[in-house]
Chain A
Amino acid sequence: MKNRPCISHFPFLIFVLLLLSGCWDQTNIDKRAYVIAIGLDKGEKNKINITYLISNPEFSKQEGPSSEPSHEIITFPANDFISAKNTANSIVAKEITYNMLSVMIVSEEFSKDPEFIRYMYDVTKDREIKHNNPLVVTKEDVSTFLTENKPKLETRIHKYFEFILENANKAGLIPSFKLHSYFSITESDAGLFLAPYATTQRTTSGKYTAGEDEFLAGELD
């Protein structure tokens, strides 16, 4: 008879499970639009053009893709990329979220702008943007870059950026600097932030670099 209170209390624990669903902050996966890449271009009159690469979550399923496209790219002018979330909802039906954001892309023109860091400070104010996302600079406008860039085999676009940045970094082609180090390097004076440089334009001279393999250690100056 001693154990009885314990057992009779046990069913009440089931009610605790109801609390797990949360009240205000519950969100459904199928009610959100996941932005994989944010592109920033210089716009007119101190505004910026924002490009969203929104992934189609159906493509991560095992059963294989449906007839829908794997991703959607939209470009629109905005003041900053926090309020842009709401602006984008005039085209995209679902709620925009940066939770799955895997890369931030900036055009070369905009990254050279002295005002650039001011726009980047919004990163620190939006809790959904993680500071370990990489920052990539493109030669052309980001909107052209994202539309031109069509990986043939990696249709699941949310994996594409993750893989290419990881493996290109392993090969030593690009530095692995994140948004986090962008701030710490730029804020402390006399620092130079090195970002991966990307483009979809083919260079006209398709020659091999002369003598790429013919150096000994210490020869290069």
Chain B
Amino acid sequence: MDHTKGMLGIREFFAIILVTIGTKLTDNTPTGLFNEVGNAAWITIIIMCLVSIIPIYLLTKVITSYENKNLVDIIYHLLGKHIGFFVILLLWLTETYSIVLSSAMYADIIETMYFVRTPILIIYIVLIGVAAYGAKKGIEYIGSAAWITLIGLNIALFVVLILSILQGRINYIFPIFGNGIPEILTEGTTNLSIFGEFLYFGFIVTSLRSINVYKKGIWIGLFYVSIVFMFALIGYVMLFDYVSIGNLNYPFHESIRYIQLGFLTNVESLFLPFWLVASFLRFSFYLYISALLFGALFKIKQFNYLVPSIAILIVFLGLIPEAPVFSLFNLREILVYITAPIFLLLPLVLWIAAKLKGEFKK
């Protein structure tokens, strides 16, 4: 038997990166950007990509200098037992908070855009139930499922993007800097949380086939996701113009309702399954990471068994916000301001600690 069985190769790792971060362009993340910087939102993605090179480079440097240790062990090793515990707790809290918010948002998307009469509780239970099943199965299953669906997802996404760019108007992307360069720079750095998940990929590094997979996958993933994100934002703004897009909460779903595929007019039901699969995989990965971090906090080896209880907790927490369209949008703003500094500073702190301990000399 192959000893690498059950480990993630570069394909699966890349697929996970794309599914977890790429699906963000289909929820209300772009609306937040468009509200702040107008039609230059796609330039902020470039800024974000360039800024996040620094933390990702530092993180990769730290992670590659250890063999067979994931980020949890590295944090405990470098920061000590007490500070390490605090840092992991912080990461677990932000991660779980973000699952609650985004899953509530996705349930809201499904409810408002597709299944109007179905109670939100049922939609939510199905969404989290499927995701919890995937997370319970483990990261290998999430990885291979992501890889299998990756081609379909990409084709669906590119059909949507090409159609919206073809049916849009090129002059809507001008003035090219939107509300001005200072806004672009500040928004580009404060909204870094879009790429904040790159931190969490460090936790599955021991499930990867080798450290090179991590090194290569994370860079390819970062640039691919940034390019796709950029084109998606260009597509939206070309289709809707910058004023209307600020009023649309879920631009992706509005654009698949608007575009026409030749003689087919109602194409949204064609793209819905792909989007659903991507969301299931995204939440599977999130739940897996949440269980892993919780397991690391309280020294639980078999953290797979934590997934169902975390899932139930998430369903009940996510049902609390009323009028989700507005409340989730504001709650997400808080999350954005918390996770951006964590994503920027934690790799730096780890790198400095590793440098002081002389880990890189070995």
Contacts and interface: CB of A to CB of B under 8 A. Distances in A.
Given A132-B260, A184-B241, A187-B244, A127 B118 contact: no
A130 interface: yes
Contacts of B247: 124
B345 interface: no
A21 to B, nearest CB: 13
A131 B241 CA distance: 14
A24 B115 CA distance: 8
B258 A180 contact: yes
A25 interface: yes
B257 interface: yes
B119 A24 contact: yes
A23 interface: yes
Interface in B244-266: 244, 247-248, 254, 257-258, 260, 265-266
Contacts of A145: none
Given A183-B244, A187-B243, A188-B241, A127 B258 contact: no
A180 B257 CA distance: 11
Nearest to B172: A184
A23 B126 CA distance: 13
A23 B123 CA distance: 11
Interface residues of chain B: helix, strand, loop or mixed (majority): helix
Given A23-B118, A24-B118, A130 B240 contact: no
Interface string A123-134: 010010011100
B5 interface: no
A184 B244 CA distance: 6
Contacts of B258: 130-132, 180
Interface residues of A, number: 14
Contacts, number: 42
A25 B117 contact: yes
Contacts of B243: 184, 187-188
B212 interface: no
Contacts of A124: 247-248
B116 interface: yes
Given A130-B258, A131-B258, A132-B265, A187 B241 contact: yes
Given A132-B258, A132-B260, A127 B117 contact: no
Nearest to B268: A130
A124 to B, nearest CB: 6
Contact of B116 (A25, A132, A180, A187): A25
B117 A24 contact: yes
A127 B244 contact: no
Contacts of A130: 257-258, 265-266
B113 A184 contact: no
Interface of A: 22-25, 124, 127, 130-132, 180, 183-184, 187-188
Cβ-closest 9 pairs across A and B: A184-B241, A187-B243, A24-B118, A24-B117, A25-B115, A25-B117, A184-B244, A183-B244, A131-B258
Interface of B: 112-113, 115-119, 122, 172, 240-244, 247-248, 254, 257-258, 260, 265-266
